[in-house]
Amino acid sequence: MQIKYVKLFGLTLLISLSGCGIFGDRVEESKNWPAEKLYAEAKEELASGSYERSVQLFEKLESRFPFGTYAQQAQLEIAYAYYKQGESAQALAAVDRFIKLHPNHPNVDYMYYLRGLVNFNDDMGFLSVIANQDITERDPKATRDSFDAFKELVTQYPNSKYTPDALLRMKYLVNSLAQYDLHVAKYYLRRNAYLAAANRAQAAIKEYPDAPAIEEALVVLIKSYDAMGMKELRDDAKRVYEKNFPNSTVLANGDKQKSWWKFWN
């Protein structure tokens, strides 16, 4: 019986060592590959969803062939691979590095777009979690960073093929930021902090005048002024509300039911 166990252990060890050998061979296999093959293999890994392996191969490509188009393309692909892998911090670091090293690269517009996408995906679901989390506790930094990145793309590369989509996402982000301010204003209103509610609603109206949330922000403003006994300011806010939203029922019936962010889907 003991001999049997020894044989079994030996067989297991042999299989393990063989596996290590195969893995080691695969790692060493790329040692003498030319730049073209390294790039092709890395792209294949990326396309198949093996993001970690693709990053390893792209990094090898960059280190072995540091000059030329393959190295530049490898840096670009590394940023994309990190983005697909959900590694936001590493993706943004790779994007910033590429922009710094190659500010005049023909595909640098894509890197600005990718920077926006990384932060945008961090922000997605920003409003869908309202029912589960107090939105006043959320930090809108990713939203602002995403907007700034898309704005830089649109400003510097207005003719980029990524600009139309960036503009659409910017619209979503502006609405998201306005909605955030609205929820903070309503939070203050519910707690009878009328001055704070009025100030936050005013800030949203001033900064995001075309956002859908402005309809409710004006209602918050009206209610806040009314609660503070500021009748003149209340009436001014009400005139603006009625002029801009003549068919609105929010003031009379409460919150809007329509979700503005549904347009994204």
Give residue 33's pLDDT: 84
Query: What gap in Å lies between CA 234 and CA 14, rounded to an integer?
Result: 83
Binned at pLDDT 50, 70 and 90, residue 216 comes out as: very high
Residue 82's contacts (CB-CB under 8 Å, 6 or more residues apart) are: 51, 55, 88, 90, 91, 94
The more confidently predicted of residues 20 and 31 is 31
Instruction: Kindly indicate the confidence band of residue 67, based on its pLDDT and cuts at 50, 70 and 90.
Output: confident
Taking the C-alpha atoms of residue 97 and residue 94, their distance in angstroms, rounded to an integer, is 5
Mean pLDDT of the chain: 83
| Chain centroid, CA 181 distance in Å | 19
Q: What share of the chain is helix, strand, coil (3-state, %, to 5)?
A: 75, 0, 25
Looking at residue 124, its pLDDT comes to: 54
Residue 209, C-beta contacts closer than 8 angstroms, at least 6 positions apart: none
Q: Give the E-state strand segments of the chain in sequence order.
A: none
Question: pTM, whole model, 2 decimals?
Answer: 0.72
**Ramachandran category for residue 160: left, alpha or beta (phi over 0 → left; psi -120 to 50 → alpha):** beta
How many CA atoms within 13 Å lie on the side-chain side of 43?
10
User: Dihedral (C-alpha) 166, 169, 175, 180: value to the nearest 10 degrees?
Assistant: -110
Answer yes or no: are the C-beta atoms of 202 and 168 closer than 8 Å.
no
Q: How far apart are CA 119 and CA 140, in angstroms?
A: 10
94 φ/ψ angles, rounded to the nearest 5 degrees: -65, -40
Cα separation, 264 vs 168, in Å, equals: 9
Select, from the ranges 7-11, 54-58, 118-122, the one with the highest average predicted confidence (pLDDT).
54-58
**How many beta carbons lie within 10 A of that of residue 233, not counting itself?**
16
